[in-house]
Amino acid sequence: MRIALMRYKSPLGELSCVFEGERLVEIAIKERPLFAPTGCQLVENSGLKKELHEYFAGRLKRFSQKIKFISGTPFEHKVWRALKKIPSGQTRTYKWIAEQAGSPKAVRAAGQALGKNPLPIIVPCHRVIASDGSLTGYSSGGVKVKELLLRLENPDA
């Protein structure tokens, strides 16, 4: 399968979007993507660019871009799929994610899986918060990025 790279300038900084065929497999925020070999083909995916533009303008609530997980364990995949159930503008706890993944006691493991999410923004790990309501770490740019994304999705909160 061919690997291709698309760059997108966002309010968070440059996003590197890696595709395997038509499916998005990674988004790296302000860093080098893991799954894009040096010299891979650069592409213009106008569909994803349009969706990202609409999302950052506060008008898109759900992405339609096809995705594929090319890394991760079966448990991590369950966690990442559970993230897609969280509506835009809402948050859930790490405990909720662990429960949705079928392992209610694996709260720490769920948190570690979130840190390995290869598709931030599209697979919205920024919508997960601590049980006390506080914003905790966000491996894709830190808590400030997480806060910005949550404010973007729910400006009235």
Q: Render pLDDT for 121-134 as a digit per residue (tens, 0 to 9).
A: 999 999 999 998 88
| Catalytic option among 82, 101, 110, 125 | 125
Query: What pTM was estimated for this model as a whole?
Result: 0.90
pLDDT score, position 145: 87
CA–CA dist 84, 81 (Å, integer): 5
Evaluate if residue 75 carries a pLDDT over 90.
yes
Residue 140 has pLDDT above 90, yes or no: no
CA gyration radius, the chain: 15
Q: How confident is the model at residue 143 (pLDDT cuts 50, 70, 90)?
A: confident
Q: What is the mean pLDDT of residues 71-93?
A: 96
Q: How far is CA 129 from CA 100, 114, 116, 137, in A?
A: 15, 11, 16, 9
Report, as an integer, the average pLDDT of 17-45.
Answer: 87
Cα separation, 110 vs 11, whole angstroms:
28
Averaged pLDDT of the chain:
91
Model pLDDT, residue 127: 96
> For residue 15, what is the enclosing H or E element?
strand 13-20
Helices 107-115 and 74-83, interaxial angle, to 10°? 80
Span 51-62, average pLDDT:
95
Residue 125 is among the residues annotated as catalytic for this protein: yes
